[in-house]
Amino acid sequence: MTAQPTRARPAGNWISPPSAHAPEPAIAGGLPVPAEDGGAIAVFQAQQLAARRRRVPVRLLSLVVVVLVPVALAAVYYFVIAADQYVAEFRFALRTVEPGRAEVGGLLQGSVAPSPVGVDSYAVVQYLGSRDVIDELGKTLDLREMFSRPEADWVARLQLPISIEELVRYWKTQVDAFYDITNGTIVVRARAFTAEDALQLAQAVLAAAERLVNDLSARARHDTLSNSEKEVRRAERRLKATLARLREFRDREGIIDPRKTADATQALAGRIRDEIVRADTELSTVKHYMRADAPSVRMLDARIQSLQAQLHSVESEVTDTEKSRSEVLSRVIGSYERLESERSFAEKAYQHALEALDRARMNADRQQVYVAGFVQPSLPEEALYPRRLRNVGIALFLCCAVWLIGAFIVQTVREHL
């Protein structure tokens, strides 16, 4: 067999892949490398080093753009441009004359129903972050002018003109109110660009909260007493109507109390009948030894006739009808007793309604909610905002985190290409 001539690889083509018939480099196996393969590897390593050197400036540039520039801008803003903001803080609590008591069953089960004071406290906190408090304070304070003073920087300043919805959003960033359920207190912090504005704003917010609590208490008291007052008025009208019917009955019958009148009439009639019986007995006795025309006999006859006429007059005082006295009095007494029972029932109902109103008034007084302020607003001496070092540190941390995450993603993509 004739030997095939070995083809020489062109000069400068060390990076191109070898042909299928060319032998593989023995680098992976740790074998000696021929001179021509060693030159190709050196060229490859040099190219890799050059590419790595080109990537270093890109990383430095990304570090500057993503980390150093934003942090420098944040530092310039917070330490040079940002205006001071003063905070006036006050604390108060809602109290009642009679403190509420938690239910024993709720305590054993681990859940306690919210007390009226707690509900009112949450209502006050919600009110201090709503548009209503802005409208209320707008009657005495110019909030737009207060939050757009020249002392404020252009980022924190309220940009005018502004709608009421945007003012509400800005208000929530300047006034912070929350309810501490552990001790039942409401904490309010008001921020402004001057110490005087912060104090004035805090005092106005406290006054608005007190007015709200007073309105809530007055409304609850009115709702509690309204039903009792309605019952009292209804019972009073019923009693007046019953007394009016009783008065009409007395005027119509001419009798104040038919029962007493009947008793007095019966007693008088009984006495007259007794007198008639005695006069008849005396007349019978006298007729045994006197003539009929004797003066004594005539005098006794006249007395008996007079007593009978008097008895008839007493019996006809109430009515002139042909019915007997007992039938007439029974009808009058029946009507009177019916009206009297209605009057007695109306009086008792009116008395019970008055007692219920007194109890409701006492309960409303015990449940009256009032503001108990124990930390009053005071003039701040040092600006608490902005917190420059903390904000710059947060910016540095976020920028470094973004840069590291981006670098890790880029490196992972390059390794898989």
Give the neighbor-by-neighbor strand order of the sheet with 175-180. Answer: 175-180, 185-192, 86-96, 369-375
Any idea which architecture 80-100+113-226+369-386 has in CATH?
2-Layer Sandwich (3.30)
DSSP per-residue codes, 226-272 = HHHHHHHHHHHHHHHHHHHHHHHHHHHHT-S-HHHHHHHHHHHHHHH
Could you give the CA distance from residue 253 to residue 247 in angstroms, rounded to a whole number? 10
The packing angle between helices 325-366 and 195-253, to 10°, is 170
pLDDT 10s digit of each residue in the chain, 417 long? 444 444 444 444 433 444 444 444 444 444 444 445 556 666 656 666 655 555 557 778 888 888 899 999 999 988 888 888 999 999 999 988 765 554 433 434 444 446 778 888 999 999 999 999 999 998 999 899 999 888 888 888 888 888 999 999 999 999 999 999 888 899 999 999 999 999 999 999 999 999 999 998 888 888 888 888 899 999 999 999 988 888 888 777 777 666 666 666 667 767 777 788 887 787 777 777 777 677 777 787 787 788 777 777 666 654 444 444 444 566 777 787 888 888 889 899 999 989 988 988 888 887 788 888 888 999 998 888 888 899 999 999 999 999 999 888 988 887 876
- Residues 212, 351 contacting (CB under 8 angstroms): no
pTM above 0.85, yes or no: no
Domain boundaries, the chain: 48-79+387-417, 80-100+113-226+369-386, 230-366
Could you give the CA distance from residue 340 to residue 346 in angstroms, rounded to a whole number? 10
- Which residue, 133, 99, 126, 127, is CA-closest to 115? 99
Could you give the CA distance from residue 65 to residue 103 in angstroms, rounded to a whole number? 62
The secondary structure element, H or E, covering residue 46 is helix 35-63
CB atoms within 10 A of CB 386: 19
Q: Categorise residue 386: left if φ over 0, alpha if ψ from -120 to 50, beta otherwise.
A: beta
